[in-house]
Amino acid sequence: AALVDHPLLEGLNDPQRAAVTHAGAPLLVVAGAGSGKTRVLTRRIAWLINERKAHPGSILAITFTNKAAAEMKERVQELVGNRARIMWVSTFHSSCVRILRKEIDRVGFKSSFSIYDAADSKRLMTLVLRDLELDPKRYQPNAVLNWVSDQKNELRDPEDVTKEARNSFEEAYAKAYTHYQRRLRDANALDFDDLIMTTVHLLQAFPDVRENYRRRFRHVLVDEYQDTNHAQYSLIQQLCGQSFEQEDAAGERVEPSELMVVGDADQSIYAFRGADIRNILDFEQDFPDATTILLEQNYRSTQTILSAANAVIGNNRSRKPKRLWTDAGEGARIVGYVSDDEHDEARFVSQEIDTLVDDAGVRPADVAVFYRTNAQSRVFEEVFIRTGQPYKVVGGVRFYERKEVRDALAYLRVLVNTADEISLRRVLNTPKRGIGDRAEACIAALAERDRTTFWEALTRAAEAPGLATRSLKNIEAFVAIIQELQSMVEADERPDVILESVLERSGYLAELEASDDPQDDTRVENLAELVAVAREFAEDPQPGPSADPAEVEAGTVAVGLGDFLERVALVADADQIPDSPDGDDSGVVTLMTLHTAKGLEFPVVFLTGLEDGVFPHQRSLGDQPELEEERRLAYVGLTRAQQRLYVSRALVRSAWGAPSHNPASRFLDELPVDLVDWRRTAAEQTRWGRADHAGGSTRLGAPTEAGRRNFSSAALRADAAAKAKPAREIPSLAPGDRVLHDSFGMGTVVAVDGVAEKSVASIDFGSDGVKRLLLRYAPVEKL
């Protein structure tokens, strides 16, 4: 009863108080979303410092992101004051770096070790595979690296995997892993996964180091425990484990540290990075004297939102059922919206935000828009830029700042302006084509000597003193590709067609597609988005500020590549505007992927792109465990909302610029019907309203699939571009003619514009749609 009045226990229910004040045995708090797990963890830290007189330096708190760590630290400081400053609140990786900087000399590294990021690791693995003379087609750097990462997450070192290799394939992987580790060591470098594995190995191998940290960290607290992998789990065991001798080197008894972990198995969304849900399910087995506290009251959301989330997650078979209730009242019904396409969806979101701000006292900062993949942010960004609504994209680079988008645009800039040396140098060896720094320097020297442009020098590379024969050949090939693409620009080919050819002919796309790195999948998706942007522009050109008014009047606005680049430059420029120059964020809407949203909450949430093949993601559709992970992600998304929740989907979504008709997400079907107020249903939509997909149950090809298929046709088209026909071979076509195309098959000519070299035919290929093809390149034959 004395506890009731303590200020640090204010605003906590009984089980929450029990968790805050618990002392001794390991403590597991398992509870659904919004039940106050993070609040309890934070309060407990304050309690330990204030009431149990724990030294702040003896507390190690682990969160999932640096942002969460910063927030938690700030909150504890508010509660107990500045003393909390020296406390360790950080992610697993940062904690390990801090330990390693002090201790790593024990395992033969210098404390100044470098940390390799993904790009560095890839570069190194590429070298290793080359040295080992492994067939680059069978052994892709990213595939090997992913495998190595899995081994490290399981704490298997090269010796272990070498012993366990059962076939020549596994032997090769083990060998690559061995050499990769050796070269890292030679470079005094650790990759990301090494940080944790090395720390665990170090603590295992050196009892004195382990004891030192166990004496130091008397309290270890872990948030989002459901997303820990085996290596992270072992780290916690090393620091708090009871399976170890309880005496230090001097024979003194060391009390085990107090451990508290909080988590929710229903929110485990990182299995693809080796997170193991069993860590939470088996906690009681691993720590036999553990205490478990369940929290069942949700303080975040209305009953409507909670019922919706509970209904969806209830469809997962591999889970323990749990109760979660709220007394926040029914609240508003969920609003559902079926849009024509992704633009319509973004407009709906934007208009709805305006209405909420005007009529419901909502601040833009109260609003979050979630989507499944990074590339989906682009359409929202464009609408917000147009309407002047400030926004921020959390946890992702803004669309036009992404490396792959900038690379692609650099190619286009070179095509319209070879004097753009920055862009030219950016793409010269991107993707890698054997034109190294040395070769680049030789060309630069030639340009300097002859007072000419870098491009001019490239075209005369043979005269460059000191240039290696191999480099010369590679440069000549590069120049040929650029010149060939330039001829498409001269022929006034559409920007989207040119862009597709660029991605194809440059080898840029092939390199990404060959990779097994999930990040490269994202890059391919972003490039698909950029192609979609170009296609839209070509089909509905909006005159840029410098357009000739007379042309605008006459409806003959140019739609060339240069116009497209101008338009993009302006959008991209607007994109650079900082979120809030005056530091006031109240006017800023938040955009983020569902993965980034974990642990956060917002009064208003828009959950967008609820389409099978988008969310759940295409990859998961045929795979029960992956589908369940997607459903947990949906649960995370739904439970971020405090008061209002919107769910939306688009009937048609463009990927690679090719519209695909998407059926409703199965997660929408799992929402209880009486909870959702459909503002607009599939049956009401107009533009694409055809009975066969209005119901949302017909699968007409999921976006990725359709996009890829369409893109490979584009690839074929571009391939044909490589063999441009001499003028006399250009087929002369007239509307009504039947033609045969290498990849689209039979088609009927609808219209022909331009003459000779520049003639462009619009050809109807039935289910593949109407294509505009530059006849000089198109592999078409008149029948």
Chain residues binding Mg ion by CB under 5 A are 37-38, 599
Residue with the CB atom nearest ligand ATP in the bound state: 36
Minimum CB separation of residue 28 from Mg ion in Å reads: 15
- The H or E element containing residue 454 is helix 454-459
680 is catalytic: no
Q: Are strands 602-607 and 641-655 parallel, antiparallel or unpaired?
A: parallel
Instruction: Tell me how crowded residue 753 is: count the other CB atoms within 10 A of its CB.
Output: 11
- Say which entry of ligand ATP, Mg ion, none residue 33 contacts (CB below 5 to 8 A, set by partner kind): ligand ATP
Helix (H) and strand (E) counts in the chain: 30, 21
Catalytic residue, chosen from 640, 666, 717, 771, is 640
Residues 6+ apart with CB under 8 A from 114: 187, 188, 189, 190
Q: Minimum CB separation from ligand ATP for residue 590, in Å?
A: 16
13 binds ligand ATP (CB under 6 A): yes
Quote the least distance from Cβ 265 to ligand ATP, whole Å.
11
Q: Which is nearer to Mg ion, 45 or 184 (CB)?
A: 45
Q: Provide the minimum distance between the beta carbon of 79 and ligand ATP in the complex, in angstroms, as a whole number.
A: 13
Applying CB under 6 A, the span of 7-15, 97-105, 179-187, 550-558 interacting with ligand ATP comes to 7-15
- Least Å distance, CB 44 to ligand ATP, is 12
Active site annotation includes 37 = yes
**Among 15, 26, 34, 396, contact with ligand ATP (rule: CB under 6 A):** 34
**Cα–Cα distances in Å, from 191 out to 228, 249, 571?**
18, 32, 37
d(CA 274, CA 255): 31
Of the residues 223, 342, 382, 629, only one is catalytic, namely: 223
State the DSSP string of 318-386.
SS-----B--S---SPEEEEEEEEHHHHHHHHHHHHHHHHHHS---GGGEEEEESSGGGHHHHHHHHHH
- Check if 224 is active-site: yes
Q: Give the binding range for ligand ATP (CB under 6 A) out of 30-38, 55-63, 134-142, 457-465.
A: 30-38
Laid out side by side, the sheet with 760-764 consists of 770-774, 760-764, 745-753, 738-741, 780-782
Task: Write out the two tokens for 86.
Answer: 């020296």
For CA atoms 87, 90, 94, 95, the dihedral sign is positive
Q: Which is nearer to ligand ATP, 515 or 639 (CB)?
A: 639
Residue 37 near ligand ATP by CB under 6 A? yes
Spatial separation of the C-alpha atoms in residues 714 and 771, rounded to whole Å:
11
740 is written with which tokens?
């045969």
Out of 39, 73, 179, 343, name the contact with ligand ATP by CB under 6 A. 39
Pick the catalytic residue: 38, 63, 238, 704?
38
Task: Please give the angle made by the CA atoms of 515, 521 and 527, to the nearest 5 degrees.
Answer: 110
Handedness of CA 403, 409, 411, 414 (dihedral sign): negative
41 versus 447: smaller Cβ distance to ligand ATP: 41
Provide the mask over 265-304, with x wherever binding to ligand ATP is found by CB under 6 A and - wherever it is not: --x-------------------------------xx----
3-state percent helix, strand, coil for the chain, nearest multiple of 5? 50, 15, 30
**38 is an interface residue for ligand ATP by CB under 6 A:** yes
Query: Is 38 part of any known ligand binding site?
Result: yes
Q: Is 35 in the site for ligand ATP (CB under 6 A)?
A: yes
Residue 37 vs 717, nearer CB to ligand ATP: 37
Write out the E strands in 609-759.
641-655, 658-661, 676-680, 738-741, 745-753
Residue among 15 and 562 whose Cβ is closer to ligand ATP: 15
CA distances from 693 to 6, 638, 650, 663, 664 (A): 60, 26, 12, 7, 9
Q: Give the x-and-dash track for 548-587 against ligand ATP (CB under 6 A).
A: ----------------------------------------
Task: Determine if 16 is a binding residue for ligand ATP (CB under 6 A).
Answer: yes
Q: Which of 224, 341, 493, 563 is catalytic?
A: 224
Number of residues that bind ligand ATP (CB under 6 A): 19
Q: Which is nearer to ligand ATP, 44 or 218 (CB)?
A: 44
377 binds, among ligand ATP, Mg ion, none (CB under 5 to 8 A by kind): none
User: What is the nearest approach in angstroms of Mg ion to the Cβ of residue 77?
Assistant: 19
Q: How far is the CB of 154 from Mg ion (least distance, A)?
A: 27
Are the beta carbons of 59 and 219 closer than 8 angstroms? yes
Q: Which of 16, 17, 37, 366 is catalytic?
A: 37
Measured from the CB atom, the residue of 13 and 114 that comes closer to ligand ATP is 13
Choosing among Mg ion, ligand ATP, none, which partner's interface includes residue 264 (Cβ < 5 to 8 Å by kind)? ligand ATP
Min separation Cβ 74 and Mg ion, Å? 15
**Smallest Cα–Cα separation from 152: which of 95, 232, 263, 68?**
232
Site string for ligand ATP, 638-657 (x = CB under 6 A): -x------------------
Is 226 or 389 the residue whose CB approaches Mg ion more closely? 226
Cβ atoms < 10 Å from Cβ of 767: 6
Least distance from C-beta 387 to ligand ATP, angstroms? 30
CB of 633 to Mg ion, least distance (A): 16
User: Which residue minimizes CB distance to Mg ion?
Assistant: 38
Cα–Cα distances in Å, from 763 out to 718, 737, 778? Answer: 17, 9, 11
Stretch that binds ligand ATP, among 11-19, 130-138, 389-397, 664-672 (CB under 6 A): 11-19
Query: Contact with ligand ATP (CB under 6 A): which of 396, 544, 599, 703?
Result: 599
Name the β-bridge partners of 711.
none
Q: Is 637 in the site for ligand ATP (CB under 6 A)?
A: no
Does 37 belong to an annotated binding site?
Answer: yes
Residue 516 is classified by DSSP as -
Instruction: Check if 624 is active-site.
Output: no
Residue that is written with structure tokens 């780290």 in the block:
235
Give me the DSSP letters along 303-332.
HHHHHHHHHHHTT-SSS-----B--S---S
Per the structure block, which two tokens stand in for 725?
Answer: 């026909």
Catalytic residue among 42, 199, 237, 267: 267
The C-alpha angle with vertex 148 and arms to 143 and 152, in degrees rounded to 5, equals 150
Given the complex with Mg ion, which of 38 and 704 has the nearer CB atom? 38
User: Cα(239)–Cα(99) distance, rounded to whole angstroms?
Assistant: 12
Q: Which amino acid would we find at residue 749?
A: V
Residue 640 annotated to the active site:
yes
Annotated catalytic, 238? no
Give the whole-angstrom CA distance, residue 716 versus residue 491. 19
Which residues does the annotation mark as catalytic? 37-38, 223-224, 267, 640
Annotated binding-site residues for ATP read 31-38
Q: Which residues bind ligand ATP (CB under 6 A)?
A: 11-13, 16, 31, 33-39, 264, 267, 299-300, 599, 601, 639
Annotated binding-site residues read 31-38
